[in-house]
Structure 1
Amino acid sequence: MQLWSLNGNTQQLDGGAMFGNAPKAMWSRWIEPDASNRIPLACRCLLAKDLDGRNVLFETGIGAFFEPALRERYGVVESQHVLLESLASLGLSHEDIDVVVLSHLHFDHAGGLLAAWEEGKPPQLLFPHARFLVGAQHWQRAWKPHPRDRASFIPELQHLLQDSGRLELVAGEYSQTLGRAVRFSFSDGHTPGLMLSEVAGVVFCADLIPGRSWVHLPITMGYDRYPEALIDEKRVFLEDKFARNVRLFFTHDHACALARVTRDERGRYGTTDEQPELRGIV
């Protein structure tokens, strides 16, 4: 089994929104904003190649499903479906993926499930041979979102996943599809039922910890539903990964895919052994 980081479409979003109540004087030292106050963000996916004989993709990024006006509004840089290009670089297509694991269904994590936008065509679900794994609690949230995060969901996506006949809702540590190969845990601070996946000593942090800067406990996003709960969840999460030497995989960090957790004498968490990409590590 090998782990690969795959680039999806990138975004440029407002730095203030991404760092919540942290002042710009602080966060601009970590990620330099452009003239419009936007910072670069990855939508990075994790591929477990030959995991018990299957290709398992953790998330699909934002993809290219937005029409041009919305692509501009949400700061999507590329018009083509970058994840499909990343798969092709490994000699794979979306048809070769056996399982897609989704931490949650916000468009910047699940939009890559859809084909690139074409005028006059309805949304088309890719990955025709894959089973789709979604947290059971979050699935309910996606059907009945709060006004606060309704715009983060793709209305057609839940119907397409349900109608595929290949959807599994995960409620515990392990799924029927992947068995003991992938261990799941759940978080509510960013969105109810966010599903975190651990495979071969690597954990997909999703939006609990979008990148290195958010490893600091007080730092949350303006997009988080329950920031105080998220901080408490993050503390427990990081302590566990530090104790077990589990590496962190970041989806939104524009320059770092993987890192190890550190903790100083004052109990502050940080990262070390930072890697910009994974290229087939076992």
Structure 2
Amino acid sequence: MKLYPIESGNFKLDGGAMFGVVPKTIWNKTNPADQNNLIDMAARCLLIEDGNRLILIDTGMGNKQSDKFFGYYSLWGEHSLDKSLAAYGFHRDDVTDVFLTHLHFDHVGGAIQWNKDRTGYEPAFKNAHFWTNDNHWEWATKPNAREKASFLQENIIPMQESGQLKFISRPEGAFLEKSELGFGIFFVDGHTEKQMLPKLVHNGKTFVYVADLLPTAGHLPLPYVMGYDTRPLLTLDEKASFLNEAADNGYYLILEHDANQEVITVKHTEKGVRLNEVFKAEDILM
């Protein structure tokens, strides 16, 4: 059983939106903005090789949207999902399972691609099941006005139409029942309904892929909550509970969106839970 970091691409987002009510003079110290107030973001996925299963957690934005769409997100860098898979000797057809933390476009866009003649869409992982949960599926397919622009139907409905869609049960989250990974799931609702954060045990360490509960290390202070979150006060409580548990138990947190800090640990301080150590993903995962 092995874990691999998969870099699916880089983009930029508005720093103010990423930090909500926190003033730029504060968040700019950890996440410096460019002249357009945009900060660097990653789309860092995780690949799990476990027996005869090859599991990809999240997929990045993909490449099927229009130039105008991608222009809003200032894509940069040379990473791609296919190149990252190939670097470890894999192809997308080898993937047996795509675990989606949630169905916002920057997490699920790479799951679906154009068909050959560009008349419609098809799964980008033809041999994989796509895993979400029924509450979040209902939330995403009947979106509220606030999140509608993030739940693109072309990213979502083809998974169901292909017959490859699967739902994970709650609260136990039966997904890898007979695995050495000790796979567990934290369900959190502040960012969006029933976001799923995988918790893995590997080489005696506990890793949590924190997705949008903690998008970057700069978001560690509790009030640093994204303007994108649908229930920011709930995020506040969920972060407090999770970060205390992470500090108490020495969890390694895999950061999906931090362009510079890939895996971190946290510790208790007089100011609350703060950054402890920083690791390169390849050094600590593999």
- Whether the TM-score (by the shorter chain) exceeds 0.5 is yes
Identity, in percent, stands at 32
Equivalent residues of 1:10, 1:76 under 8 A apart: yes
Matches within 5 A, 1:147-226: 147-179=145-177, 181-200=182-201, 201-226=206-231
Secondary structure at the counterpart of residue 35 of structure 1: coil
Q: By how many angstroms is 1:151 displaced? A: 0.3
Q: By how many angstroms is 1:276 displaced? A: 3.1
Change (3 A) 1:152 1:119: farther
Q: Which residue of 2 aligns with 1:278?
A: 282
2: CA distance, partners of 1:176 / 1:52: 17
Secondary structure at the counterpart of residue 63 of structure 1: coil
1:268 aligns with 2:268: no
Secondary structure at the counterpart of residue 122 of structure 2: coil
1:4 aligns with 2:4: yes
2: CA distance, partners of 1:147 / 1:220: 20
1:257 aligns with 2:267: no
Matches within 5 A, 1:93-108: 93-108=91-106
Matches within 5 A, 1:10-21: 10-21=10-21
Q: Which residue of 2 aligns with 1:128?
A: 126
2: CA distance, partners of 1:280 / 1:268: 25
Q: By how many angstroms is 1:72 displaced? A: 0.3
Please provide the CA RMSD for this pair: 2.0
2: CA distance, partners of 1:256 / 1:268: 20
Q: By how many angstroms is 1:147 displaced? A: 0.2
The letter of the residue matching 1:124 is E
2: CA distance, partners of 1:240 / 1:54: 29
1: CA distance, partners of 2:93 / 2:284: 20
Secondary structure at the counterpart of residue 236 of structure 1: helix
Secondary structure at the counterpart of residue 239 of structure 1: helix
Secondary structure at the counterpart of residue 108 of structure 1: helix
The number of residue pairs the alignment matches comes to 279
2: CA distance, partners of 1:245 / 1:5: 20
Q: By how many angstroms is 1:277 displaced? A: 2.4
Equivalent residues of 2:19, 2:227 under 8 A apart: yes
The letter of the residue matching 2:120 is P
The letter of the residue matching 2:81 is L
Q: By how many angstroms is 1:164 displaced? A: 2.3
Q: What runs of 5+ residues in structure 1 fail to find an aligned partner? A: none
Equivalent residues of 1:136, 1:169 under 8 A apart: yes
The letter of the residue matching 1:38 is L
Q: What runs of 5+ residues in structure 2 fail to find an aligned partner? A: none
Matches within 5 A, 1:22-171: 22-49=22-49, 51-77=50-76, 82-115=80-113, 120-171=118-169
